Amino acid sequence: MTNKLILIDGNSIAYRAFFALPLLNNDKGVHTNAVYGFTTMLLKILEEENPTHMLVAFDAGKTTFRHKTYEAYKGGRQKTPPELSEQLPILRELLDAFNISHYELPLYEADDIIGTLARKGEQANWEVKVISGDRDLLQLVSERVTVALTKKGITNVETYTPEYMKEKMEISPEQVIDLKALMGDSSDNIPGVPGVGEKTAVKLLKQFTTLENVFANVQEVSGKKLKEKLETHQEDAFMSKELVTIHVDTPIETTIEQIGYQGYDVMKLNQLFRDLGFHSLINRIEGEEDKKQVEDTLPDLHVTIVDQVEESMLANHTALVIEMLGENYHEASIVGISIAHDKGVYFIPADVALQSSVLKQWLEDEKQKKMVFDAKKATVLMKRHGIDIKGIDFDLLIASYLINPAESHHDIPSISHRLGETSIRYDEEVYGKGAKLQVPEQDALSDHIARKAHIVNKLKQTVVQQLKDNDQWELYHDLELPLTLILADMEHTGVSVDVDRLKGMGEGLQKRLAQIQQNIYELAGETFNLNSPKQLGPILFEKLQLPVIKKTKTGYSTSADVLEQLEDKHPIISEILLYRQLGKLQSTYIEGLLKVVDDTGKIHTRFNQALTQTGRLSSTEPNLQNIPIRLEEGRKIRQAFIPSQKGWKLFAADYSQIELRVLAHIANDEKLIQAFNDHEDIHTKTAMDVFHVEKDQVTDQMRRQAKAVNFGIVYGISDFGLSQSLGITRKEAKTFIDRYLQSYPGVQTYMDDIVQDAKQKGYVTTLMNRRRYLPDITSRNFNRRSFAERTAMNTPIQGTAADIIKKAMIDLYYTLAEEQLEARMLLQVHDELIIEAPEHELDTLKELVANVMEQTVSLHVPLVVDYAFGDTWYDAK
């Protein structure tokens, strides 16, 4: 079999993947779009090319041997966005998981490494394929070397052979160097001959063959101006040729034989994909042949399968695990309950458990303390069956999450294995891929669930001690554990939806969409399939003659970013954008919400308490924290959320600029503190300080930019990120950030100090001692270290704000109970709490809610709560 060598230009593909995809984050807050695009490219290559040998080449640094020839080489390039830089180390981890060799060499570029290995492969009579986005590599094309250049997107490529180059470019591979020498390359700051473009360069090479012949026969060149340019810039042209020539004898320390590719380790890659959040790619790496049977080597555990629950089986301080079939516990069915204590381990089938009055009485006894995994899930599951669990005093899920929120998996087997307790299989090894989708035979099921209870019982003391050693016991015991039960109550209660109104909105949107569609047809002068880019593209770019921004493999790009650039060119664009926005509202939100309304007319979201590294809650199935509010039509969706009883109102209370107030407190910045204590508009104040103007001179744009910087600082935004959000240059964005830090020196001091503190401790904490570990804070790799430093700066702010709203929820929940009010919390939307209450309690709530939330913690600045109420969630805003 002929050896096949694949050589990939790592920096080029990573760069193109980064800009081809929107910024993506995994659940740890790490940007992953470049890694995701790179991964899809790798998978496609492996599936289609079946390489025997493979290597990814990277640039080693900014300085290369070419800078000795021309100091300004690549001098015009912008600094790599930190959102991309931080992903480059992850790319190397990815390649290691794929078992793909990667290489870099000081003073040389990836092109030189690729050129050297391609030449060696060619000399060994191997088939060689180079993959890049850089046209310079076309000079390597030969009978045995092909070059695939990425097109728009990342996985689409155009493959060049000598024949294809002659047909498309009218030159041979050997002439690529001369072509680039004549036309130059602005992206690499290669001068070439000014005024000579690709067409002129090709014409010259077709006439004279080589660069040397062009200048040897310059008098024969037609055109006085062109001849003058060539004569004036001959030295630049030959220097450019030297710069663009790829070295094929680079002193690399690896041979083509050493970069053999034997395939990837499925388990290792599976784990990395999970950590990165690439769940959609997992099926592409797991074939039937890769499934490994787990040997039955678990230590024996005596499990009593119960057909009748007796009091003697139940005890104080018992571990309790309730297993369900399905992912959503608001609708999943219970398959069994296991309990474990020092005297025994028991498995109770669901039908036995749910009919047992003895078990019900024990579960509802506050004095009988229970250790559980996921108290919220257990509580909701049993509430659905008329059982109100009480006495939960330990939750292994929450404890594990607090100890290290960076861990990707907080299920019982994963926690167990991390702590050295391996007497249990992973769920997927028992249930198969996509855990809990299929129920195994009864013995395996009962044993596995029983082992979970056994593990909870066994690990409690170890985990509690870790919490105490970390000074996190109060955070766990006084904040997170009580909150689990409050969230369970909120989830089980659910929020009522006016289904008829939601359907009416859908019908109204359909009519609006139909009208907008008609407007578009009139502007286009014809009808067509508006949802088909193939039909829309020719209308916009051929018939209406709008400027082409971007092309795709199948034609013209009509993506949102393209249309937004064209919005001022023709009125049809605004109509198309509106049509798409309203279409998404219709399908994702109106139709999506209607699908999850239960028989009682309520929606039961799930709050994820053990997911984010900052401590913020998230919401799923459906995500009620993400109801769109930018469009009025989106805001009106909130009109469908109503109180559950007649004569009741919805009451919304939210913290005003809580993260900026936390920043003022933590940074102890005098100017920020003074501004908040004087109740100034903080964005106007920031605009005054940054732009050096008086209050009456602050324009709306100034305030908008100041607001973006204010919140950008909180989230560790870079000059690249700020430039994207404001539509300005990176230089302007950097100037804004620098002025901000000059205006608020306490913030700059805080940023410097928190990074140094993190380097000493290895983690940062919130005011309530929530931890986030930063293993890369002392990394020798600049990109890893930079990301960790930004994380160190913003986590204490975001995390403290999250802790405050959680404490406010607890304080308010118990205050409402103490005051014997009927009002109850329904939702938490980041800094906002949604409550439903009878109308006669509103006057009490106006004072009580704001007072409780504003007094929940004491900071250097006041916490301010705004509130509103009405017949719907929309009215309460």
pLDDT tens per residue, range 639-653: 999 999 999 999 999
CB-based contact 99:46 (threshold 8 Å): no
Interval 306-322: pLDDT, tens:
999 999 999 999 999 99
CB-based contact 691:698 (threshold 8 Å): yes
Alpha carbon distance 421, 426 (integer Å) = 12
Q: Which pLDDT does position 787 carry in this prediction?
A: 86
Q: Which helix (H) or strand (E) holds 667?
A: helix 658-667
Nearest to 33 by CA among 50, 47, 21, 46: 21
Q: Which pLDDT does position 251 carry in this prediction?
A: 92
Q: Which pLDDT does position 153 carry in this prediction?
A: 65
pLDDT mean over 122-150: 94
Q: Write out the two tokens for 732.
A: 């302007």
Nearest-5° Cα angle at 182, 178 to 185: 100
pLDDT at 297 over 60: no
Residue 28 pLDDT class (50, 70, 90 cuts): low
Interval 717-728: pLDDT, tens:
788 888 877 878
Q: Which pLDDT does position 682 carry in this prediction?
A: 93
Nearest-5° Cα angle at 182, 180 to 184: 55
- What string of H, E and C letters represents the secondary structure of 731-795? HHHHHHHHHHHHHCHHHHHHHHHHHHHHHHHCEEECCCCCEEECCCCCCCCHHHHHHHHHHHHHH
Cite the DSSP H helix spans in 99-197: 110-123, 162-169, 176-183
Considering the chain, what is the average pLDDT of its residues?
89
Q: Which pLDDT does position 295 carry in this prediction?
A: 38
**Minimum mean pLDDT range among 32-41, 61-70, 262-271:** 61-70
Alpha carbon distance 363, 31 (integer Å) = 44
Q: Write out the two tokens for 775.
A: 């293993």
Alpha carbon distance 322, 456 (integer Å) = 12
Q: Which pLDDT does position 296 carry in this prediction?
A: 46
Q: Which pLDDT does position 76 carry in this prediction?
A: 57
Domain 304-475: CATH class, spelled out: alpha beta
- What string of H, E and C letters represents the secondary structure of 160-171? ECHHHHHHHHCC
Interval 89-122: pLDDT, tens:
999 999 999 999 999 998 899 999 999 999 999 9
Asked if the 4-169+246-259 domain carries CATH number 3.40.430.10, the reply is: no
Residue 288 pLDDT class (50, 70, 90 cuts): very low
Alpha carbon distance 747, 98 (integer Å) = 42
Q: Which pLDDT does position 291 carry in this prediction?
A: 38
pTM of the model: 0.69
pLDDT at 67 over 80: no
Buried/exposed code over 785-806 (b: 16+ C-beta within 10 A; e: otherwise): bbbbbbbbbbbbbbbbbbbbbb
Per-residue DSSP letter, 391: -
Domain 661-801: CATH class, spelled out: mainly alpha
Interval 549-572: pLDDT, tens:
887 767 888 988 789 888 889 999
Domain boundaries along the sequence of the chain: 4-169+246-259, 304-475, 496-603+612-642, 661-801
Higher local confidence (pLDDT), 291 or 430: 430
Interval 167-185: pLDDT, tens:
889 999 999 999 888 888 8
Q: Which pLDDT does position 783 carry in this prediction?
A: 77
Asked if the 496-603+612-642 domain carries CATH number 1.20.1060.10, the reply is: yes
Task: Read off the amino acid at residue 371.
Answer: M
pLDDT mean over 657-673: 95
Alpha carbon distance 183, 178 (integer Å) = 9
Nearest to 55 by CA among 126, 128, 107: 128
Residue 293 pLDDT class (50, 70, 90 cuts): very low
Nearest to 115 by CA among 63, 173, 159, 172: 173
Q: Which pLDDT does position 289 carry in this prediction?
A: 40
Q: Which pLDDT does position 432 carry in this prediction?
A: 64
Higher local confidence (pLDDT), 122 or 436: 122
Q: Write out the two tokens for 569.
A: 């060119």
Q: Which pLDDT does position 440 carry in this prediction?
A: 63
Interval 323-363: pLDDT, tens:
998 789 999 999 999 999 999 999 999 999 999 999 999 99
**C-alpha of 252 from chain center:** 37
Q: Which pLDDT does position 409 carry in this prediction?
A: 84
Side-chain-side CA neighbours of 766 within 13 Å: the count stands at: 23
Q: In whole angstroms, how far apart are CA 287 and each of 51, 271, 290, 397, 428?
A: 19, 16, 5, 31, 15
Interval 383-422: pLDDT, tens:
999 999 999 999 999 999 999 998 878 899 989 988 888 8
